[in-house]
Amino acid sequence: MAPIKLLNLLAISSLAILACTFGATPANALATEHHQFARHAVHGHDGIARRKRDNAASKRCKARPSSSAPSPSSSSYVAPSSTAKAAKAAPTTLAPSYQKVSSSSAAPASTSAASSGKTGSGKVGLAWPNGDDSSLKNYKTDKVNWLYTWSPDIPDSARSLGFEVVPMLWGENQVSEFSQKVVKGYANYVLGFNEPDQSGQSNMTPQRAAQLWKQYIDPLQYQGYKLISPAVTSAPYGKTWMQEFFANCTGCHFDALAMHWYDVSGDAFIAYVEDFHKTFNLPIWVTEYACQNFNGGAQCSDSEIASFMGQTTSFMDGADYVQAYMWFGAMHDMQGVNTGNQLMASSGSPTQLGYQFINA
């Protein structure tokens, strides 16, 4: 009997050790692995971008005629070359500050006619996957300025409505289309890769992204473009990816940093934006965000979403370093995101939340 009792004790001890090892992990709003689940499950904005490209395949976007353009900013940023090796060796440390260069050495802004229809200079923007849908006019107010489509394409009516249009190089497979369309005079701003840290999205290493940036995006500064960085997910690796990207993109030019964020706490969102600005020392563009729980917990109610939007837009309007922000989403198919975040009704008109956002 003694050996049997001894075996029982050993078995109980083993179970106790396993229980301690696989115990519950505390939740952390900023440690958002939720992107991994959402993007693999629904393929997120890869599908949006692909549909947008398919819808635009039969159309050719017209280059903007030359007339007027915004003045060059007083400063821009260049990734330093002297700290690249140290940053690459320790990517979990804060990225180095980026050196300002005088406006006299910055590239001149391109000329365009877009400003002729613009009625405001707000920070609010649209992430728009709906092609040339006529409902676009319903979303232009004196508060809404920016528009991008997850692609190089621009809706035909966007410029005449007064939007500041921003083409995007979504990923490596779009290089040819991007290079053909995004030429001098086509726009004033350009967005870098969409969630390159995510396997379900543009999915590339920081090293490869730096190579593509240097080849296809960085030269656009000399054609009058303001260059907005790739936008990583808010999963923990996103920040590390961005640090490694900057470490590899030595001498590259950046005018602002794009970022995405999904979770349910306004306070956590604000802390995350502040941290990215402090870490990378660049103006911020929030090109996707919503009150969305990808961690398996309860979703935001309609009232909580409205409160979250009010808190976050108020913060960003008051933060000088935030230049643009776009809510997800102004679309019919929310791609797995809580439909309470929807800005567009089935009719194409803004929802109640949509009106709140475009008048923020």
To the nearest whole percent, how much of the chain has pLDDT over 90? 66
pLDDT (tens digit, 9 = 90+) per residue, 91-132? Answer: 222 222 333 222 223 333 333 333 333 333 499 999 999 999
pLDDT (tens digit, 9 = 90+) per residue, 144-158? Answer: 999 999 999 999 999
pLDDT of 326 above 50: yes
pLDDT of 17 above 60: no
161 pLDDT band, cuts 50/70/90, is: very high
Q: What is the pLDDT of residue 360?
A: 82
Q: What is the pLDDT of residue 309?
A: 99
**Which residue carries 């922000």 as its tokens?**
325
**CA distances (Å), origin 162, targets 112, 121, 219:** 12, 10, 27
- Residues present in the chain in total: 360
The dihedrals phi and psi of 263, each to the nearest 5 degrees, come to -175, -165
For residue 265, which of 237, 233, 236, 293 has the smallest C-alpha distance?
293
Global confidence as pTM = 0.73
pLDDT of 52 above 90: no
CATH 3.20.20.70 fits 34-57+113-358, yes or no: no
CB atoms within 10 A of CB 91: 17
DSSP line for 65-119: PSSB-PPPPSEEEE--STTHHHHHH-TTSPPPPPEEEETTTSPPPPPBSGGGG--
Q: What is the pLDDT of residue 48?
A: 52
pLDDT (tens digit, 9 = 90+) per residue, 241-279? Answer: 999 999 999 999 999 999 999 999 999 999 999 999 999
For residue 234, which of 182, 284, 289 has the smallest C-alpha distance?
289
To the nearest whole percent, how much of the chain has pLDDT over 70? 67
- What is the pLDDT averaged over residues 154-178? 98
pLDDT of 298 above 80: yes
